[in-house]
């Protein structure tokens, strides 16, 4: 059975891009008699606003979608810690005390997710007075797993290339876990068979595939859809004037009609679908 998910972070209200993503995930599951789940990715402590969860549910209902809600990430911290301990026990994580500014000062190569960590802390003794994060030693991990493959329903078969992202932080200094570790564990725990999300997270899937191999998790397929863009070709964002779904809903717009238009890729003026 196909299980897809919509996994918004309650850092701000949802906009049209989220609606598009949720509809795609919903329809992929529902037309195949599968399940569509909603998971709140609420572990971004300072930015997370739990009160937005109810607005998200109202938005999905307004669009005419049906879903099952699974536990939010904040309820799953023990599973993240346990998985991280397993990786540490195998010598695959190393502590890192570098700040963003220190990394930027090394003039690092820029990868699909930003600066590629130059490995400064890999063989460095910890300063006991400074906080630290834990990074995955990707080279070491790949030496254990060997080559890995994954399938994107749109882009086709992929060779996993987690090295493109450098050694990622899996346990953050300021928060219990990073997005990458949490999302990989959650998709497995929720039985997700088709990870549906925007193409901006395509590169992250190389790393998620590696984490699945290291943690003995089932391997789903992926469906990275193109993003909706604004008149200037940028990702939609409320701070750049894209109205939220809540604004649209409260102004009396017909959500089911909007959903039908998004399905037909008839977008409101100024909005277009990015190319892959």
Please, are residues 1 and 31 in contact by the beta-carbon 8 Å criterion?
no
Residues numbered 200 to 229 that lie near ligand GLU (CB under 6 A) are 201
Q: Give the Cα separation of 7 and 226 in Å (integer).
A: 17
Residues numbered 49 to 88 that lie near ligand GLU (CB under 6 A) are none
**Using the rule CB under 6 A, which residue among 14, 38, 41, 117 binds ligand GLU?**
41
Q: Which residue's CB is nearer to ligand GLU, number 114 or number 131?
A: 114
Least distance in angstroms from the C-beta of 5 to ligand GLU: 7
* Structure tokens given for 245: 């779904």
Q: Give the Cα separation of 187 and 189 in Å (integer).
A: 6
Q: Which residue's CB is nearer to ligand GLU, number 41 or number 167?
A: 41
Please, are residues 255 and 63 in contact by the beta-carbon 8 Å criterion?
yes
The piece of 7-15, 87-95, 148-156, 254-262 that touches ligand GLU (CB under 6 A) is 7-15
Least distance in angstroms from the C-beta of 19 to ligand GLU: 13
Q: Residues, the chain, total?
A: 276
Least distance in angstroms from the C-beta of 130 to ligand GLU: 29
What is the b/e burial string over 208-224, where b = at least 16 CB atoms within 10 angstroms of the residue's CB? bbbbbbbbebeebebbb
Q: Which residue's C-beta sits nearest to ligand GLU?
A: 197
> Is residue 8 a contact point for ligand GLU (CB under 6 A)?
yes
Residues numbered 85 to 124 that lie near ligand GLU (CB under 6 A) are none
Q: What angle do CA 256, 258, 264 make, to 5 degrees?
A: 105
Residues numbered 150 to 189 that lie near ligand GLU (CB under 6 A) are 183
> Is residue 7 a contact point for ligand GLU (CB under 6 A)?
yes
The piece of 2-10, 50-58, 88-96, 163-171 that touches ligand GLU (CB under 6 A) is 2-10
* Structure tokens given for 270: 């100024």
The helix/strand/coil state of 67 is coil
Give backbone dihedrals phi and psi of 164, rounded to 5 degrees, phi first: -60, -25
> Is residue 10 a contact point for ligand GLU (CB under 6 A)?
no
Cα dihedral sign for 8, 50, 136, 131? Answer: positive
Q: Which residue's CB is nearer to ligand GLU, number 15 or number 197?
A: 197
- In the chain, the largest separation of any two C-alpha atoms, in whole Å, equals 60
> By the criterion CB under 6 A, which residues form the site for ligand GLU?
7-9, 41, 183, 197, 201
């Amino acid at each position: 059975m196909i299980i897809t998910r919509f996994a918004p972070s309650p850092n701000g209200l949802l906009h049209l891009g989220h609606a598009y993503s949720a509809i795609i995930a919903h329809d992929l599951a529902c037309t195949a008699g599968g399940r569509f789940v909603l998971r709140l990715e609420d572990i971004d402590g300072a930015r997370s606003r739990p009160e937005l969860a109810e607005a998200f549910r109202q938005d999905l209902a307004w669009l005419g979608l049906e879903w099952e809600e699974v536990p939010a990430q904040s309820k799953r911290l023990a599973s993240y810690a346990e998985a991280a301990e397993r990786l540490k026990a195998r010598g695959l994580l190393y502590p890192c005390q570098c700040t963003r500014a220190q990394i930027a000062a090394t003039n690092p190569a820029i990868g699909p997710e930003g600066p590629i960590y130059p490995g400064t802390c890999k063989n460095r003794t910890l300063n006991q007075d400074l906080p630290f994060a834990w990074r995955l030693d990707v080279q070491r991990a790949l030496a254990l797993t060997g080559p890995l493959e994954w399938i994107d329903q749109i882009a086709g078969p992929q060779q996993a290339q987690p090295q493109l992202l450098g050694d990622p932080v899996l346990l953050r200094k300021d928060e219990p876990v990073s997005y990458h570790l949490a999302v990989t564990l959650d998709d497995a725990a929720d039985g997700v068979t088709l990870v549906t999300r925007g193409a901006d997270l395509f590169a992250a899937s190389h790393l998620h595939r590696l984490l699945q191999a290291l943690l003995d998790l089932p391997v789903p397929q992926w469906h990275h859809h193109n993003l909706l863009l604004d008149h200037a070709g940028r990702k939609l964002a409320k701070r750049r004037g894209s109205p939220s779904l809540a604004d649209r809903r409260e102004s009396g717009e017909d959500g089911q009609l909007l959903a039908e238009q998004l399905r037909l890729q008839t977008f409101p003026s100024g909005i277009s679908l990015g190319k892959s």
